[in-house]
């Protein structure tokens, strides 16, 4: 049975909606540790390589400028338990960007394979993927 989780993009979307400010100065958000269960029902994959905190976002930052940098900090070290040789393998970060802030404009479904849907007021136009 396929299930879908409906989520709203929180502080990241709010900050990125201020695209002009983000481009000029950048944005930074801090997030408390220990809240990596989402609204309470999210569970980690069962493979032992996924350690507590490995999906716990603690900081998100985009530097300003025409060629911005994205920095994500998690509450665990980046790991490469399968020896892929790319520096990390257990984490993959998807940043969904609502460029226009208009309800119903953009995509309400996440990228294939994520099994996530967004509320119409949080529909996205761009996605940034940080992966190994």
Q: Look at residue 14 and tell me whether its pLDDT is greater than 60.
A: no
Percent of the chain surpassing pLDDT 90: 26
Q: Give 46-70 pLDDT, tens digit per residue.
A: 888 888 888 899 999 988 777 888 9
| Nearest C-alpha neighbor of 74 from the set 48, 99, 51, 56 | 56
Q: What is the pLDDT of residue 12?
A: 41
Q: What is the pLDDT of residue 52?
A: 85
Strands 116-118 and 5-7: parallel
CA gap 123, 99 in Å, rounded: 9
Q: What is the pLDDT of residue 24?
A: 57
Residue 94's Cβ-count burial label (10 Å; 0-12, 13-18, 19+) is middle
Q: What is the pLDDT of residue 61?
A: 93
Q: What is the average pLDDT across 9-33?
A: 60
Question: What's the pTM?
Answer: 0.71
Percent of the chain surpassing pLDDT 70: 82
Q: What is the average pLDDT across 81-95?
A: 85
Are 100 and 20 within 8 A, CB to CB?
no
- Measure CA 90 to chain center: 14
Q: What is the pLDDT of residue 15?
A: 40
Q: What is the average pLDDT across 20-27?
A: 62
Geometric angle at alpha carbon 21, from 18 and 24, rounded to 5°: 145
CA gap 90, 132 in Å, rounded: 9
- Mean model confidence pLDDT for the chain: 79
């Amino acid at each position: 049975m396929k299930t879908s989780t409906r989520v709203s993009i929180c502080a990241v979307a709010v900050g990125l909606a201020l695209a002009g400010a983000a481009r000029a100065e950048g944005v930074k958000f801090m997030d408390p540790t220990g809240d990596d269960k989402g609204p309470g029902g999210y569970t980690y994959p069962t493979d032992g390589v996924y350690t507590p905190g490995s999906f716990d976002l603690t900081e998100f930052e985009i530097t300003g400028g025409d060629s911005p940098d994205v920095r994500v900090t998690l509450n665990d070290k980046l790991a490469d338990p399968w020896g892929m040789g790319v520096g990390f393998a257990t984490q993959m970060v998807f940043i969904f960007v609502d460029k226009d802030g208009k309800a119903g404009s953009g995509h309400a479904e996440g990228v294939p394979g994520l099994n996530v849907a967004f509320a119409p007021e949080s529909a996205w136009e761009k996605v940034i993927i940080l992966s190994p």
